[in-house]
Amino acid sequence: MGSSQAAVSFLTNLARAAFGLGAAATALNASLYTVDGGQRAVLFDRFRGVIDTTIGEGTHFLIPWLQKPYIFDIRTRPHTFSSISGTKDLQMVNLTLRVLSHPDVNKLPQIYQRLGLEYDEKVLPSIGNEVLKAVVAQFNADQLLTERPHVSALVRDSLIKRAKDFNILLEDVAITHLSYGVEFSRAVEQKQVAQQEAERSKFIVMKADQERRAAIIRAEGESEAAKMISDATAKAGTGLIELRKIEASRENAATMARSPNVLYLPGGANMLMGMNQSR
């Protein structure tokens, strides 16, 4: 009996010890939390509220039930959103903006108090649309293309300033897409077609002018040549003309002689094509 009672007592003590160790391990586990690389933590205390201290990487202690950690990802993350804005000349423009942002590490307690863990999703689309509409309204539709670097700089500076009001830091802001409404795109296309037609008409006018000048020069040359021939004939007689007629008649006679369609020549035919008509 004594040995059985001792065994029961031993097992009871062992169970109590195991239970105590389990409870201690559970309590220890509940008293620890880990902040991984690229993260920071904010601690909420049921009595004091959000503690105004940002907790860095590593394993830290807390008081179970009384305190609770909230983990923030402080790495730079991209965000993309679109906005349909009106230009100065009342044209609708569709823009897509991409920003790279991360929270101000020293202001994480204030960020959690005001916005919570999803601070970026609550703030960036709103202020992004606000800034885009304000900047785009300062330019005409065509200026958004010709002055795009200036527009991007204005958007970046304004958005960085607005994001700081919410303790959000922006590393890069860029307009990745810009397109116009259907009516404006059609108007631009029609304008391009009209410009091409104007250039074509201008070319036709220039071509006609060049042809007119060429005709005038050609006529002046022929007139000058005729005058020179007339003057030469008046001075030297018609001998050169008679020679040209003889040469032409010889060429005609040789051509007809080689032609199979010519069977005979009439006896009265003048082979010299009426040369010396006065004789």
Write out the DSSP string of 221-261: HHHHHHHHHHHHHHHH-SHHHHHHHHHHHHHHHHHHHH-TT
Q: Which two tokens stand for residue 4?
A: 């059985």
Q: Give the pLDDT score at 236.
A: 64
Q: Which residues contact 279 (CB under 8 A, 6 or more apart)?
A: none
Phi, psi (degrees; rounded to nearest 5) at 247: -60, -40
Which pLDDT score is estimated for 190?
A: 65
State the number of CA atoms in the 13 A half-sphere of 72 facing the CB.
Answer: 29
What is the pLDDT, as a whole number, of residue 203?
81
- Predicted local distance difference test score (pLDDT) of residue 198: 78
Domain ranges of the chain: 28-73, 77-180, 182-246
Sheet architecture: strand order including 92-103: 77-86, 92-103, 168-180
Q: Please state, in angstroms and rounded to a whole number, the distance separating the CA atoms of residues 54 and 40.
A: 7
Out of 3.30.479.30, 3.10.580.10, 3.40.1360.10, 3.40.50.410, the CATH code matching 77-180 is 3.30.479.30
Looking at residue 276, its pLDDT comes to 45
Of 88, 34, 96, 22, which Cα lies nearest the Cα of 60? 34
pLDDT digits (tens), the chain, 279 positions: 556 666 656 556 656 655 555 554 565 567 889 999 999 999 999 999 999 999 999 999 988 889 999 999 999 999 998 989 889 988 889 999 999 999 999 999 999 999 999 999 999 999 999 999 999 999 998 888 889 899 999 999 999 999 999 999 999 999 999 888 777 656 656 666 667 777 888 888 888 888 888 888 888 787 787 777 777 676 766 666 676 778 777 777 777 777 776 655 555 444 444 444 444
| pTM tops 0.85, yes or no | no
Q: Is the CB of residue 179 less than 8 Å from the CB of residue 93?
A: yes
- Separation of alpha carbons 144 and 178, rounded Å: 9
pLDDT score, position 9: 65
* pLDDT number for residue 130: 93
176: Cβ contacts below 8 Å, ≥ 6 apart: 80, 96, 97, 98
